[in-house]
Amino acid sequence: MLGYLDDAELSARLRSTRFGQYTAKTITTSTALRAELKKVHDQGYAIIDQELEMGLRTIAVPIINSAGHAIAATSVGLNTARATISDMKRLILPVLKEAAEELALLVG
């Protein structure tokens, strides 16, 4: 959802963010987070690969309303032993995108 904020709002949120390191993969700087959020926005989905907890991998898709705002997201989290990132992109991402599109129609 942060990847869909305008620059001013994102800057305001980042100024009040305290970065902590939960794993060796955690993003810990606003510069790195900005780069990741741009990537998320450009590709239309996010993957969190063991950034919060080792062994946990999540893929998420925003739900975009008719005004073009990300108002929610849908996601699936799995143990890393159950799916690779490639598996998640191939098997789960299309289902999440379809669900997000249907939910967007319901919320308008």
Q: What is the CATH number of the domain that holds 68?
A: 3.30.450.40
Does the pTM of the predicted model rise above 0.95? no
Q: In 21-108, at which residue ranges do the beta strands (DSSP E only) sit?
A: 46-49, 56-64, 70-79
Domain that includes residue 73, residue range:
2-107
| Rounded Cα distance, 24 and 93, in Å | 25
Ramachandran angles phi, psi of 96, nearest 5° = -65, -40
Instruction: Return the H-helix or E-strand segment holding 15.
Output: helix 7-15
| Rounded Cα distance, 11 and 2, in Å | 10
**How many domains is the chain built from?**
1
Ramachandran angles phi, psi of 83, nearest 5° = -160, 135
pLDDT tens over the chain, length 108 residues: 888 888 999 999 999 999 999 999 999 999 999 999 999 999 999 999 999 999 999 999 999 999 999 999 999 999 999 999 999 999 999 999 999 999 999 988
